[in-house]
Amino acid sequence: MSMIVGQPLDRKDGKLKVTGAAPYAGEFVVPGLVYGVTIQSTITKGHINNIDTTVAQKLKGVLGVMTYKNAMSLHQPTGSDPSSGKFAEKDLLPLQSERIFYNGQHIAVVIAETFEIAEYAASLIKVDYNEEKSVSDIHDPEAKPYQPQQGLGGTSPQAKRGNTDEVLNNAAVKLEQTYTTPVYHHNPMEPHTTTAFWEDDELTVYDSTQGVFGVQNLLSNVLGIPKNKVRVISPFIGGGFGSKGFTWANAFLAPMAAKFINRPVKITLARSFQMFTCAGRRTTTIQKINLGADSNGKISAGKHETTSETSFVDEFVENAGVATKILYDIPNLDIVQNLVRLNRGTPCPTRAPGEAPGTYAFEVAMDELAEKLNIDPLQLRLINYAEKNPVDGKEFSGKNLKECYEKGAAAIGWKDRSDKPSANKQGRYLTGYGMATATYPANRSKASVRLKLYQEGNAVAACCTQDIGTGTYTVMAQLMADALGLPFEKVEFKLGDSTFPQGPNSGGSQTMATTGPAVRAAALEAKSKAIQLAIADKKSPLYNVEESAIGVENGRLYVINNNAKGETYTQLLSRNKMPLIDVNATTDVTLKDGEKSAAANANAKKEPDNPFAKQDEKMDREKYVFHSFGAHFVKVKVDSLTGMVKVEKIASAMDIGKILNEKTAKSQIMGAAIFGIGMALMEGSVYDPNTGRIVTKDLADYHVPVHADMPEFDVQFTDKPDYNISLVGARGAGEIGITGITAAIANAVYNATGKRVRELPITPDKLI
């Protein structure tokens, strides 16, 4: 039987995207559509005394100006369930008061017949403020640090094992360094966009979001309307990287404006300034690393203390120490997280939130410790390799990191690396090699799928999840095709619509591991129903044959030991006058033996017993810790005259379970590694210390990697299924690729130049 899963098939949605036929949130044509342009505050803290909209409202084509004085009242969001959505600024519902908490806060919306009229009218509005002293920099003496008790996922960002201080004091070799990362902005290709319209009391929203189901819940909650009266649609998303995992004010302002003027309204955040002020960011981090080891390189103690920022309207924790707990076998370890509140917009998850900046600091510290010990950096990591989870001693559900080290080292030519920095010079160019470990949790949650197997021999499945550019349409179709025994072109996976069964948000690298088992379960159940129908049908060649003896290939059911004996789905369903087989499947995860999650227990009586779904309820967190690992190896070339760094090659080896589509998986790792190039060498937002207003307000000032910056990529996988997480065997690929890569680049730059830069980005002025 041919296996479609694992093949590097082209994307189902590829042609639509390259021809411009894929509809994004801002491209849906709605009759009577008008345009909203938001106005932002120009002060950083205070309140509005008056908004003068007189001139703007007299402009021909202007339909209304919505401010805190006339906007509809909103309800405070409730509930802590991640599937219910997360409003990024829960204490700053849009247009509900005159208070200003940060520079760039939404204070009004102009609605007009055209975007150009709305934009011009917005420039005519005059705002009088009462300005107050703000706290807009993490180094401000007024920025008072505190230790938060809860981070992402509801876990404590503080952790401690052993007696760290005492062991550090007595260590033979010690390292103490501080590493800093700046604010990073997401800048997805598609800006945040919402189109909304009402039909009587029913609301339809086209939104660019990583959580369709969550946005539906939030809109119902905050607008105060029944959930079944809200429909959210998002079939295509032009990137998100975490910023679209939270819901921002535009998602509420568009339906508010549509209700305000009784017309469909579209609001798109401008690339310049708006995308940099009110759509999230990765926070600044200041990370102090302490390590103590014996002369042989065994680390006895470590401390990772991070200070990051949040806003005054919500709490978000960039816990940079989250990966440190699990990276190496360190018996004594303290993770400390400090937080300061600033008058800036709220930070939010950014691809591998916490893990990306955290592995940068810790993996550079490992490199510095290796130099102190005169040990090869790769060997130091092997000396401190964790066979089991250092936190609780549990087995990893699957860990093949040593194989990743071997693959990556061979691909980059690690044996050619000189331990002596700046030893390799070719004319004016210095070359260097660096490496680092990558790691990210393997997450999975509940998903439901409805699948229809049609008489015509094709199948369609649907789930309310999203494809943010990762290949979800394609890989789910591969799972369907294999499980049903249908050709790839005969199956279709639908997503991005809240009328579909509930699926996961696209965050935490969980979409594949969550939706995949439900898709597989639905497909297997549909196939089983067809086989049982054939077995009971006296006119079928498969009458009275054991189900286990029947296979399906290319849409034809047959006896495994007698291929000539069989019939197609079409023949079977046509003869029985059945237009389709319709099934629903829900898969959840096991917390411990015999126990389902609370969500599964609540729905146990509502959902039909599905043996194929039960097979997938195998994520036993009592026995295993679910984590992915990998390694990045990098070669750089540095111009000794200009200080310009060119990443020549990146060799990445990843252990993320079964690879369902090698092409899309490699794209994920490459894209994340490109993120790492930006983090290491060029990206970083700058704020005016006097006003708190962002200075790097567009892509002319905020530099990101472009085609000319691309290195040679060598991406490999262990491709070893992890059936402890599900029978699909796959763990997420979206975020692990950005962990460790920034450190690997920084370590390579040091190996090339002998200059250790601990404050990102590593720009030419720091190397000359």
Residue range 525-544: average pLDDT?
98
Residue 619 binned pLDDT confidence (cut-offs 50, 70, 90): confident
In contact, 740 and 632? CB cutoff 8 Å = yes
In the numeric block, which tokens belong to residue 235? 């079939």
The domains found in the chain, sorted by start residue, are 25-133+186-277 (3.30.365.10), 395-444+626-768 (3.30.365.10), 446-618 (3.30.365.10)
> Per-residue pLDDT for 595 more than 80?
no
- Band of the pLDDT at 80, cuts 50, 70, 90? low
Nearest Cα to Cα of residue 183 among 341, 357, 40, 43: 357
Residue 441 near residue 326 (C-beta atoms within 8 A)? no
What is the Cα–Cα distance from 179 to 758, expressed in whole angstroms? 5
Q: Is 397 exposed, middle or buried (0-12, 13-18, 19+ CB in 10 A)?
A: buried
**Distance set, CA 289 to CA 60, 360, 363 (Å):** 61, 11, 10
Residue 609, pLDDT > 90, answer no
Decide if pLDDT at 607 tops 70: no
In order, the DSSP letters of 629-665 are EEEEEEEEEEETTT--EEEEEEEEEEE-B--SBHHHH
User: What token pair was written down for 395?
Assistant: 């087995």
SS3 27: helix
CA angle 118, 121, 127 (to 5 degrees): 125
Query: Does residue 40 surpass a pLDDT of 50?
Result: yes
CA–CA distance, 432 with 765 (Å, rounded to integer): 19
For the beta sheet containing 230-233, the strands, ordered from the edge strand earlier in sequence to the opposite edge, are: 62-67, 106-112, 34-40, 265-268, 193-199, 202-207, 230-233
Helix (H, G, I), strand (E, B) or coil at 395: strand
Instruction: Assess whether pLDDT exceeds 70 at residue 596.
Output: no
Confidence category of residue 605, pLDDT binned at 50, 70, 90: very low
pLDDT band at 590; cut points 50, 70, 90: confident
Catalytic residue, candidates 363, 371, 683, 735: 735
- For residue 466, pLDDT over 60 is answered with yes
Over residues 620-657, the pLDDT tens digits come to 778 899 999 999 999 999 999 999 999 999 999 999 99
- Give me the pLDDT at residue 336, please: 98
Starting at the earlier edge strand, list the strands of the sheet with 645-655: 424-426, 429-441, 627-639, 645-655, 712-717
Question: In the predicted model, is pLDDT for residue 397 greater than 90?
Answer: yes
pLDDT of residue 606: 44
Peptide bond preceding 579 in cis form (omega within 30 of 0) = no
Cβ–Cβ < 8 Å for 185, 276: yes
Name residue, tokens 């809240």. Answer: 498
Q: Say if CB 484 and CB 427 are below 8 A apart.
A: no
Tokens linked to 318: 């960039």
pLDDT over 50 (residue 602):
no
Segment 236-290, tens digit of pLDDT = 999 999 999 999 999 999 999 999 999 999 999 999 999 999 999 999 999 999 9
Alpha helices in 145-228 (DSSP H): 164-169, 212-223
Distance, CA of 125 to CA of 67 (rounded, Å): 11
DSSP 546-573: -GGGEEEETTEEEETTEEEEEEEHHHHH
Amino acid at 509: S
Summarize pLDDT for 105-142 with one digit per residue, the tens.
Answer: 999 999 999 999 999 999 999 999 999 999 999 999 99
**Average confidence (pLDDT) over 516-526:** 97
Query: Does pLDDT of 1 surpass 80?
Result: no
**Residue 82's pLDDT is what?**
58
Interatomic CA distance for residues 106 and 109, integer angstroms = 8
Q: Which amino acid is at 656?
A: I
What is the reported pLDDT for 604? 42
- Residue 248 pLDDT: 97
Q: For residue 2, what pLDDT is reported?
A: 59
Tokens encoding 304: 């990772």
Is 607 a residue of the active site?
no
Average predicted confidence (pLDDT) for the chain: 95
Give residue 603's pLDDT.
46
Q: 480-510, pLDDT tens digit by residue?
A: 999 999 999 999 999 999 999 999 999 999 9
pTM: 0.96
